[in-house]
């Protein structure tokens, strides 16, 4: 599933084609994805002016003037494709089959933005004017935002017996983190993913806070991580997967300077955690 860097990369790719644009026409090619689509989706979007294109956690939000917002989640396999805005500027991977194009926006400027989702675990919904959407209501601070500080992390972890990996995946504590980047940040911070969150000292949490920001920033600059489905809006692959230190590297030497350990894998809450037993304590 795309994590914060992948969704932010997609947002940045869509930004010049959607923000400030007016929607001329909308195609809804099936009544549902993961959940049913709003019955008035076409009516609300047609003619709408997109005033801003934002990301909240792993969600894309297109703010519509006087009409609320369009909410999109890419699920496991969703991709946002751009066509028609500058011929030759965008390449469509022939492996991305048109039969999986489920939701299409046509702008007055001539851009076509398509949600292609082979497994249909994504979602499209409307955030009504003046109403907080239930999927966004309880999200924690953005890890790259001003509200996410070492102090807020320390307060959120206080007294928690849950493993630090599990705590960081809790979207109520910090929004947008997923399995890949939590594993990478914990390795840089030298913290065992199984360690109880409430037993980590404030100084170590300050280091973890810094590493979370660094990993996310580097991943966004690299266009995210393309393991199976993620593509940028231009169709290009992300390449942060070539910089993984631990994720997916079970049995490989630890890349930390001076460490002779070997990357191991454990399963936590049904998800694989990759770490170095020698340098992550």
Same structural domain, 268 and 158? yes
Give the CATH number for residue 78: 3.20.190.10
Q: Which of 56, 213, 265, 271 is catalytic?
A: 271
The answer to the question of residue 141 being in a domain is no
Contacts 24+ apart (CB under 8 A), 195-199: 195/163, 195/164, 195/281, 196/160, 196/161, 196/162, 196/163, 196/164, 197/157, 197/160, 197/161, 197/162, 197/163, 197/164, 197/166, 197/167, 198/157, 198/158, 198/159, 198/160, 198/161
Q: Is 108 a catalytic residue?
A: no
pLDDT tens, N- to C-terminus, the chain (281 residues): 789 999 999 999 999 999 999 999 999 999 999 999 999 999 999 999 999 999 999 999 999 999 999 999 999 889 999 987 554 455 556 556 689 999 999 999 999 999 999 999 999 999 999 999 999 999 999 999 999 999 999 999 999 999 999 999 999 999 999 999 999 999 999 999 999 999 999 999 999 999 999 999 999 988 887 545 555 555 565 557 788 999 999 999 999 999 999 999 999 999 999 999 999 99
The rounded Cα 97 to chain-centroid distance in angstroms is 23
Q: Which of 11, 55, 58, 245 is catalytic?
A: 58
Q: Which of 3, 6, 8, 184 is catalytic?
A: 3
Same structural domain, 113 and 180? no
Q: Which of 2, 143, 163, 193 is catalytic?
A: 2
The answer to the question of residue 135 being in a domain is no
Q: Is 271 a catalytic residue?
A: yes
Q: Is 165 a catalytic residue?
A: no
Same structural domain, 262 and 172? yes
Q: Is 3 a catalytic residue?
A: yes
Range(s) of the domain holding residue 30: 4-127
The answer to the question of residue 145 being in a domain is no
- Rounded to an integer, what distance in angstroms lies between the CA atom of residue 26 and that of residue 106? 6
- Rounded to an integer, what distance in angstroms lies between the CA atom of residue 185 and that of residue 275? 10
Model pTM score: 0.90
Same structural domain, 227 and 194? yes
Same structural domain, 80 and 189? no
């Amino acid at each position: 599933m795309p994590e914060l860097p992948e969704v932010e990369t997609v947002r940045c790719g869509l930004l010049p084609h959607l923000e400030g644009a007016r929607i001329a026409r909308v195609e809804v090619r099936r009544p549902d994805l993961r959940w049913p689509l709003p019955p008035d989706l076409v009516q609300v979007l047609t003619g709408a002016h997109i005033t801003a294109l934002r990301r909240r956690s792993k969600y894309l939000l297109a703010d519509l003037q006087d009409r609320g917002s369009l909410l999109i989640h890419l699920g496991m396999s969703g991709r946002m494709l751009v066509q028609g805005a500058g011929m030759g500027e965008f390449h469509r991977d022939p492996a991305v089959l048109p039969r999986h194009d489920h939701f299409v926006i046509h702008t007055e400027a001539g851009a076509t933005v398509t949600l292609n989702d082979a497994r249909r675990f994504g979602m499209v919904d409307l955030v009504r004017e003046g109403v907080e959407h239930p999927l966004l209501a309880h999200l924690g601070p953005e890890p790259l935002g001003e509200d996410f500080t070492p102090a807020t992390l320390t307060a959120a972890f206080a007294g928690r017996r849950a493993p630090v990996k599990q705590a960081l995946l809790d979207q109520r504590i910090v929004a947008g983190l997923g399995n890949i980047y939590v594993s990478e940040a914990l390795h840089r911070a030298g913290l065992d993913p199984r360690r109880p969150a409430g037993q980590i000292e404030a100084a170590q949490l300050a280091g973890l806070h810094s590493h979370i920001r660094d990993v996310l920033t580097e991943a966004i600059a690299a266009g995210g991580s393309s393991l199976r489905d993620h593509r940028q809006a231009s169709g290009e692959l992300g390449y942060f997967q070539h910089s993984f230190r631990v994720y997916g590297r079970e049995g490989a030497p630890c890349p930390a300077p001076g460490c002779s350990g070997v990357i191991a894998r454990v399963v936590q809450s049904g998800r694989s955690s990759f770490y170095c037993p020698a340098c992550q304590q």
